[in-house]
């Protein structure tokens, strides 16, 4: 008999330093009007040099633990979704474990770019369903400021740093996560990627001077793929849960670009007001984005126990995922 998995607590953390569009005007050839009109982003948070991804993740985790009303010792699995790990190894999840004192947890990271948090949630759901683990801490955390080319106006205006976390557990009487979907298409790898820094093109003076260890993106193609794959992912999960968009109290999409969210709202025929949008304040924080938005929705009363919500994401890979949850 498979057990259901519910989100029993959420948390998030954003670094204190705010980088506004007008500050970016002094760094690259851009302007506030262009950034707001094309993306909806007004400011983003940037972590200090000494603040690592696991620091952001641990702060979000502590908030989620408090929100769930559990102790760190109750956590038996930690999964961190990130593309900016503190180090290649150990996993960022291992660093988080020590920082929050979750001594009994097994720890590993997941790499699915901006889709990582929902990939990690789905892994957690299945560990809970089969009964191998009871209390899972899932974190989406990224310090993208370390992999952004601050001289490239096509990308540097889009991204920010942050972390979001959720505690998943079987809650008797609650159906929890009703349906999920994950997809990928590696043939589009080169529209959104970091070519250098891995084993194929290791760090050398040449790769560093060519900025090949920073984000490269074909914006237009990414935009098109994002709309198509998020819509398809949303429809697959809703159909599996035997629901329509009318049944959804709140839709929490990946926070990359307001125009992408508007296009999805339009095609789903759902008013934009039912979408949680906070990218104006954080920009695109990759794996953290949907997790921070989920925490904001939870803490601002956007949904109540028994409401149905949809999470839907998209990222490099390409990867995409969706999850329909009874809150
Ligand atoms: N400021 C001013 N002008 C700029 C800037 C900037 N920051 N960036 C680009 N431009 C210029 C371009 O050079 C181009 O100029 P040109 O016409 O003289 O060549 C012009 O603006 C138009 O550029 P486009 O790329 O066609 O602009 P577009 O309307 O497509 O918007 C954007 C660009 C915002 C990047 C959009 O394509 C987009 O949002 N794509 C999706 C990006 C995304 O979601 N990425 C991450 C998703 S997954 C993940 O999170 C990892």
Going by pLDDT thresholds of 50, 70 and 90, the confidence category of residue 208 is confident
- The number of the ligand 1 atom at minimal distance from the alpha carbon of 315 is 48
Q: Which residues line ligand 1 (CB under 6 A)?
A: 30, 34-35, 38-39, 113-114, 153-154, 157, 192, 217, 219-220, 222-223, 226, 256-257, 260, 284, 286, 314-316
User: Whose Cα sits closest to atom 42 in ligand 1?
Assistant: 219
Residue 231 Cα to ligand 1 middle (Å): 21
What's the confidence (pLDDT) of residue 209?
85
Contacts of 149 (CB under 8 A, 6+ apart): 155, 156, 211, 214, 215
Mean pLDDT of 70-84: 98
In this predicted structure, what is the pLDDT of residue 124?
98
pLDDT per residue as tens digits for the range 45-65:
999 999 999 999 999 999 999
Residue 219 CA, ligand 1 centroid: distance in Å:
5
What percent of the chain has pLDDT above 70? 100
Catalytic residue status for 114: yes
CA–centroid distance, residue 130 to ligand 1 (Å): 44
Q: Is the per-residue pLDDT at 33 higher than 90?
A: yes
Q: Please tell me the distance between residue 42's alpha carbon and the centre of ligand 1 in angstroms.
A: 15
Choose among 96, 116, 114, 115: nearest CA to 106: 96
Provide DSSP, 283-327: -B-GGGHHHHHHHHHHHTTSS-TT-EEEEEEEETTTEEEEEEEE-
Rounded mean pLDDT of the chain? Answer: 97
Q: What's the order of all strands across the beta sheet hosting 135-143? A: 6-13, 161-169, 135-143, 77-81, 106-110
pLDDT score recorded for residue 300: 97
Please list the residues that pair with 216 across neighbouring strands. 193
Give mean pLDDT, residues 35-44.
98
Q: With bands split at pLDDT 50, 70 and 90, how would you rate the model's confidence at 160?
A: very high
- Supply the residue whose CA is at minimum distance from atom 11 of ligand 1: 154
Is the model's pLDDT at 176 over the cut of 90? yes
* Alpha carbon distance 238, 301 (integer Å): 22
Residues facing residue 305 across a β-bridge: none
Catalytic residue among 213, 278, 284, 298: 284
Give percent of the chain above pLDDT 90. 97
Q: Report whether pLDDT(207) > 90.
A: no
Question: pTM of the full predicted structure?
Answer: 0.96
The atom of ligand 1 lying closest to the CA of 38 is 34
Task: Determine the Cα–Cα distance for residues 176 and 93; give it in Å rounded to an integer.
Answer: 24
Work out which ligand 1 atom sits closest to the CA atom of 192.
51
In tens, the pLDDT along 212-269 reads: 999 999 999 999 999 999 999 999 999 999 999 999 999 999 999 999 999 999 999 9
| Atom 29 (ligand 1) nearest CA | 38
- Nearest residue by C-alpha to atom 2 in ligand 1: 30
Domains delineated in the chain: 6-169 (3.40.47.10), 177-326 (3.40.47.10)
Q: How far apart are alpha carbons 97 and 75 in whole angstroms?
A: 10
Set 254, 257, 278, 298: catalytic member: 254
């Amino acid at each position: 008999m498979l057990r259901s998995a519910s989100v029993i607590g959420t948390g998030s953390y954003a670094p204190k330093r705010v980088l506004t569009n007008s500050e970016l005007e002094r760094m690259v050839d851009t302007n506030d009007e262009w950034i707001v009109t094309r993306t909806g982003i007004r400011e983003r948070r940037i972590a200090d040099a000494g603040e690592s991804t696991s620091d952001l993740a641990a702060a979000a985790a502590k908030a989620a633990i408090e929100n769930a009303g559990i102790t760190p010792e109750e956590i038996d699995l930690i999964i961190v979704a990130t593309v900016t790990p503190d180090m290649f190894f150990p996993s960022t999840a291992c660093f988080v474990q020590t920082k929050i004192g979750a001594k009994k947890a097994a720890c590993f990271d997941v790499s699915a770019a901006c889709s990582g948090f929902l990939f990690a949630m789905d892994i957690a759901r299945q560990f809970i369903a089969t009964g191998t683990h009871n209390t899972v801490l899932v974190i989406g955390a990224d310090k993208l400021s370390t992999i952004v080319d601050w001289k490239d106006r096509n990308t540097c205006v889009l991204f920010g740093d942050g972390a979001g976390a959720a505690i998943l557990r079987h809650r008797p009487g609650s159906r929890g996560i009703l349906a999920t979907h994950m997809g990928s298409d590696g043939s589009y790898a080169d529209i959104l990627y970091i070519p250098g820094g891995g084993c194929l093109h290791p760090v050398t003076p040449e790769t560093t001077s060519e900025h090949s260890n920073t984000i490269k993106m074909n914006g237009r193609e990414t935009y098109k793929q994002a709309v198509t794959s998020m819509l398809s992912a949303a429809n697959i999960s809703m159909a599996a849960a035997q629901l329509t968009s009318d049944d959804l109290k709140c839709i929490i999409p990946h926070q990359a670009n307001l125009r992408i969210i508007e296009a999805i709202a339009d095609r789903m025929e759902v008013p934009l007001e039912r979408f949680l949008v906070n990218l104006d304040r954080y920009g695109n924080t990759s794996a953290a984005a949907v997790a921070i938005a989920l925490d904001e929705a939870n803490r601002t009363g956007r949904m109540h126990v028994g409401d149905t919500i949809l999470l839907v994401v998209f990222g490099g890979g390409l990867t995409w995922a969706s999850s329909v949850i009874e809150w």
